[in-house]
Amino acid sequence: MFNFPEQIIFRISDIIDIGVDWILENLRFLFDFIREIIFSVYTGTEFILSAIPWWAYLIVLLIAGWRLYSIKTGIVLTLMLFSIGMFGLWDMMVDTLVMVVISVAVSILIGLPTGIFMAKSKRLERILKPILDAMQTMPSFVYLIPAVMLFSLGNVPAVFATTIYAIPPLIRLTYLGITNVNKEVVEAGLSFGSTPMQMLTKIELPQAVSTIMTGVNQTTMMAMAMVVIASMIGADGIGAEVLIAIRRLEVGRGFQAGLAIVFLAIILDRIMQGIVKKFERGM
């Protein structure tokens, strides 16, 4: 009487499983291909970022902080990065950074044109808006399951899941930036006889650039969060350290890794926000 009737229980999980099985069987080659691409990009980026000596990171950060804010901020940010090294987490930090960099780069590559098309096409806007809403409300580790199914364990599915998770704010803010360009500015562009391409490159994108950069900043922060969670499917980086600490109940080790993650997030956020402000001031 008080229980939900057994007869009408219908699990969509079975259907999804069948669908995924079909995809795996028939589109294996496609995912292997994508896997190879992500893998070589990952290896390449890791090679480059690991080849940079640790002190070069510190110097660049010091100068960036000083230029974007003040010498004081530069020193604080540099000290944060330095302490990550002191915790013995430098190599892991670089691994995390590699994954964030790739995810953000892919997000920009896909998200920017998508956002532009969304601003230009009413139909695409109607289709994409609910999808973006759904993507942003989905719990982050749900993305890990299809990633594992399609690409098994390791850094490749981690990059894949991170990109999917991190891309919505960039699409949304690109769309918002372009649709919010002042109406008279758009009319001025039209009234002088701009082509659609001139409108985009000479008026809309430059006017939207600070909004788009805010989107890149948000995407970076979300990628950062997801890369940590992706340690659950075997991603390298500081997240793996946290996972180990949880399994062994090593509180100190976990806290230290957590602090390193926070430091890295603050550094990335400050630098990106500084760049956004630079763009805004330029206007």
Partner 1 sequence: MAAIQIENLTKIFGQPKAVVKAIEMLSNDLDPKDVGEQTNTTIALNNVSFTIEDKELFVIVGLSGSGKSTLIRCLNLINEPTSGKILIDGEDITCLKGQSLREFRRKRISMVFQHFGLLSHRSIVKNVEYGLEIQGIDKKTRREMALETIEIVGLKGWEDKKPNQLSGGMKQRVGLARAIVTEPEILLMDEPYSALDPLIRRDMQNELLTLEDYINRTIVFITHDMNEAFKMGDRIALMKDGKIIQIGTPQEFFSNPADDYVKDFISDVDKTQIYKARNILRKDQLIVHLDDLRQDVFNLMNQKKTDICYVIDNKGIFLGQISKETLAKSRSKGIEKYVDYVEPITRNTYLKDLWSRFEDADENLPVVDSKGKFKGVLSKDDMISVLAG
- Tell me the window of 2-10, 79-87, 204-212, 236-244 that interacts with partner 1 (CB under 8 A): 204-212
Tell the smallest beta-carbon distance from residue 280 to partner 1 (Å).
10
182: helix, strand or coil:
coil
**Given 191, 247, 249, 252, the residue binding partner 1 (CB under 8 A):** 191
DSSP string, 100-131: HHHHHHHHHHHHHHHHHHHHH-HHHHHHHHHH
Structure tokens of 210?
């600070």
Closest CA to 50 of 85, 84, 98: 98
Q: Which residues are CB-neighbours of 143 under 8 A, at least 6 positions away?
A: 161, 164, 165, 226
**Given 18, 190, 251, 262, the residue binding partner 1 (CB under 8 A):** 190
Rank residues 140 and 180 by Cβ distance to partner 1 and give the closer one: 180
**By the 8 A CB rule, do 265 and 221 touch?**
yes
**Given 194, 234, 269, 273, the residue binding partner 1 (CB under 8 A):** 194
- Tell me the window of 5-13, 66-74, 191-199, 249-257 that interacts with partner 1 (CB under 8 A): 191-199
Residue 193 in contact with partner 1, rule: CB under 8 A: yes
Residue 188 in contact with partner 1, rule: CB under 8 A: yes
**Given 2, 4, 29, 192, the residue binding partner 1 (CB under 8 A):** 192
Tell the smallest beta-carbon distance from residue 281 to partner 1 (Å).
10
Tell the smallest beta-carbon distance from residue 202 to partner 1 (Å).
7
Residue 50's Cβ-count burial label (10 Å; 0-12, 13-18, 19+) is middle
Q: Which residues are CB-neighbours of 58 under 8 A, at least 6 positions away?
A: 78, 81, 82
**Given 28, 126, 202, 278, the residue binding partner 1 (CB under 8 A):** 202
**Given 89, 100, 147, 203, the residue binding partner 1 (CB under 8 A):** 203
Helix 251-281, helix 71-86: angle, nearest 10: 150
- Tell me the window of 65-73, 118-126, 182-190, 256-264 that interacts with partner 1 (CB under 8 A): 182-190
Per-residue binding string, partner 1, 207-236, x by CB under 8 A, is: x-x---------------------------
**Given 52, 113, 198, 278, the residue binding partner 1 (CB under 8 A):** 198
Tell the smallest beta-carbon distance from residue 129 to partner 1 (Å).
21
Q: Which residues are CB-neighbours of 72 under 8 A, at least 6 positions away?
A: none
- Tell me the window of 39-47, 96-104, 154-162, 178-186 that interacts with partner 1 (CB under 8 A): 178-186
Closest CA to 278 of 201, 207, 212, 210: 210
**By the 8 A CB rule, do 235 and 163 touch?**
no
